[in-house]
Chain A
Amino acid sequence: RKEVEQDPGPFNVPEGATVAFNCTYSNSASQSFFWYRQDCRKEPKLLMSVYSSGNEDGRFTAQLNRASQYISLLIRDSKLSDSATYLCVVSRSNDYKLSFGAGTTVTVRA
């Protein structure tokens, strides 16, 4: 079983729509959680960290559910520029190895 699993999508949504997707992780000892964004043929970049209580950053909301071992990302009022692949990232606290999911592709259409 992969350490981090994501629905690859693609999620095709119109501008202004809300899109949400999850990521599951297998290691219950995981301590740190992130969403990274990767544009086509570019490097991954940190979108946001995910905190236990959930957190927002503008139109983006991240949630963590430790009991069910998943994290989620919700994008409100989606923009064309939100089109990208969103990578779920999980790490244990005892080292700095990050496990990346394969990514969820989101395409926002005009």
Chain B
Amino acid sequence: DAGVIQSPRHEVTEMGQEVTLRCKPISGHDYLFWYRQTMMRGLELLIYFNNNVPIDDSGMPEDRFSAKMPNASFSTLKIQPSEPRDSAVYFCASSSHGQANSPLHFGNGTRLTVT
């Protein structure tokens, strides 16, 4: 089991640039989540998908953020244009469906720094 795979591990970019974060969930998992973690706000859910369909994007900060899941094995989180306050660790997680106590499996995260 390869686990949830995220790329890149680190991203440093300048304000105004487009940033794309990538995630490959665990095969067979029906749910995919994007989280953001900062010291000030902790772990925040941005958006989650079920069977590739976005279910709840109420956590997406603003229109600069968008997420897609074109198929069961791939998702992207895009920030355009990026701002310094977007600097954080972005985690992707997946879980299997239909189980109330199904744990989240997190990827290693992408550490984003916007200068």
In this assembly, does B60 line the interface, its C-beta being within 8 Å of a C-beta of chain A?
A: no
Q: Do A96 and B95 contact each other (CB < 8 Å), given the known contacts A43-B108, A43-B109, A46-B103? A: yes
- Tell me whether chain B's interface is mostly helix, strand or loop, or mixed: strand
Q: Is the interface of A mostly helix, strand, loop or mixed?
A: strand
Known: A32-B101, A43-B108, A96-B50. A102 touches B31 (CB 8 A): no
Looking at B19-27, B41-49, B74-82, the stretch in contact with chain A turns out to be B41-49
Q: Which of A31, A32, A96 has the most CB of B within 10 A?
A: A96
A-B pairs under 8 A by CB, number: 41
B104 interface residue per 8 A CB criterion: yes
Interface set, chain B 96-115, CB cutoff 8 A to A: 100-101, 103-104, 106-109
- For the complex, is B55 an interface residue (Cβ under 8 Å from A)? yes
Known: A43-B106, A43-B109, A101-B42. 13 other contacts (CB 8 A): A36-B104, A43-B108, A46-B103, A46-B104, A49-B103, A93-B100, A95-B55, A95-B56, A96-B31, A96-B48, A96-B55, A97-B45, A102-B42
